[in-house]
Structure 1
Amino acid sequence: MSGTSVKGYNSSFFNGLTIEGGFHTDMYGLCCPQIRGPGITDQVCFAPEDAISTCYALIGDTVQRVLLWIVGIIAVLGNFTVIVCRFVWNKSVLNKAYGIFVTNLGVSDFIMGVYLLVIASADLYYNGIYITKNIYWKQSLVCHIAGFLSTLSSETSAFFVLLVTIDRYFVLKFPFGQYGFTKRSTLIASVAAWSCGFALALTPSLPNFNDWTIFYVNGMCLGLPLTVERLGGWEYSVAIFVGLNTVMFVVIAAGQYSIYQAMSGNRAAKTAVHNSNRRSQDVAVAKQLFLVVLTDFLCYFPVGLMGLLAMTGHQIGNKVYAWSAVLVLPINSAINPVLYTVPVIQNKWLQFQRRHFRFGLKRDKSQNANPVATLSNALEYNLKNITL
């Protein structure tokens, strides 16, 4: 049965059939004990192993199953906290292009966390009986929604990382604002990024592409082109996850190199005292966001590289495929909130400590001082130390 497409099977699929020679199939599920029945023994049933799933579980590896829950929970809670803090506690950052782009990146990473929890919940729901529900799950609406969410998140994340890189390049290369994102262009760029992400993620689910199977090649509903199989819609998957993403991250790498050069130039050209503080803030922000860009690059670029290898006929090992799907691709969604939020929280805490320590010190040294004058001095110090 190698090369034969089986649209569906159940636990009684081979009842009454005995094979003594050999049974060969491309679908690992047909060799599972729940499907092959007593007439086909394990010794005569030959099928390739699935990279992610087993006969009993959607996520076959226990460590990967636990990590899926951990990364998903951290991504959801971390990015939700970031979004709330941006709109409630740190609104000032939304007045700048990079603040808007990073907030949108947080929304995109939050979506990836939701996707991971959907897959982890499905794994828990089908645990022990997965192979009998394998085809039903892959063709279900929930699996299609999960595939949509994963593609939307991965593509919009790449778009916003690119926009962050472009913004930091303009700010550091042209510190006097000759070029850069205005409020209008920032809004247009953000809407365009989400629109493109929605279009790219929704296309495989349109009625005109019913023969495409990129969202149910595996149990995690991922469309990653990391196999040598040429299933329905593989050209689209390669064009997006390999072609488009590779081009974007080459541009991002070139942009980060240009930012490094611009930072070096700014350090060498600090001649105006008036602008030195602003420049140092811009450089600090660029260094902080560089880590965000680097983690995204390290997550998505290897996937594109493995896709290129698969296109040329190189078989990607099952373990590599599984870890890429479970950990490598989504891990940056959990790391990003830490990278661009923890420094902000630390900075705010240090400012709080400095203000209160200074106020307390003045009060102790001037017990007999005019309380109105003391309060005035404290307020003056606080106003001088307010930063973005």
Structure 2
Amino acid sequence: MAELQDEFDTPAEAGELGGRPTTATDARRVPGAPRPEPAAGREDAFGRARALLDAHPVADGHSGLLRALRAMPYCDLESGDGGVETDVPRLRAGGVGALFWSLHVPDDRDGDRAVAAALEQLDLVRHVAARYADDLRLVRDASETADARNRGRIAVVVGPASARALGDSLGALRSLHALGLNVLTLAGTPWAGEDGLSTFGEQVVREVNRLGILADLTGAPEATARRVLGLSKAPVVFTRSGARALREHPENLGDGLLAAVGAAKGLCLVPLAAEQTGTRVRDVVDHLEHVRNVAGPECVGLAGTYDTSAAHPEELGDVSRFPRLVAELLDRGWADAEIAALTWGNVQRALRGADFTARASR
């Protein structure tokens, strides 16, 4: 690990975020209605998109950058030519203000080996954030995320990580949180299966609430998802789930579960992954609109899924392409306030909810 870390270069100075949103429109697209023609041309839509992202940057709910960096020890995140889909210039161009860094725990690791894999990546994320401190800042809650954005840094939220990294130990969970873990994926464990949560699984949910960790239910069986939605006192997230009504995929959510997410004020982060949401920008927007209409406008967000094994829709090939997506939303008639909630506000709400729950439990 030391040899890997020593290869990272020190970053150069980066510019600050700025700007203000434009005047909001109240137009909303009715499901099934024809798409309106762009009112002022594509260039105007891109200009408005960039202005919106200056004021309300993207909180990207899933990045596989850490896994990519482990395989590319010479990657320079400042130069913009490191062979990854996520680097500092692209993050700036894409209007990204916060990034959830996934900790990959290989499927063949369990017990102590799974814990070790998570610890290695926690060490790496801290090292990378320190090396690129002019651009990146590790954060623990909504207030630190907002402060990083206001200071021109990109906030790094650590997680999601597979709950297999706990080794079935609440002590390991507390230790991982002390080292920076903020999002935990419950799926893939024997205590969060097809029959719902075991007694230990319920203890994990209560403990993540107490610590202020967001519970991620991506890929969880429906019985487990519904039990966690009912048990958790903090908002629950799905860090990469589209709408199953539009595209069949095991990690996408059916309308019944989306409605339950809305009732619990959870958060569904729609992935920019072709397998889950389609091969075109308009397909991604279809999923965003479906989740918004079923769960509610405060319950939908974005997950880039960059630097994972996922292929991406055309025109959304790397993290710099979020303005293209926002331009499509404007063409569809999304109001500025709805886009601001989608890109930034809804993730902030979930982080605030986790922090409030943790403070209330102490």
Q: TM-score range by the shorter chain?
A: under 0.3
Looking at secondary structure, tell me which structure has more helix per residue: 1
Looking at secondary structure, tell me which structure has more strand per residue: 2
Higher relative contact order (CA 8 A, sep 6+): 2
TM-score, normalised to structure 1, is 0.24
Whichever of the two has the greater Rg, that structure is: 1
TM-score, normalised to structure 2, is 0.25
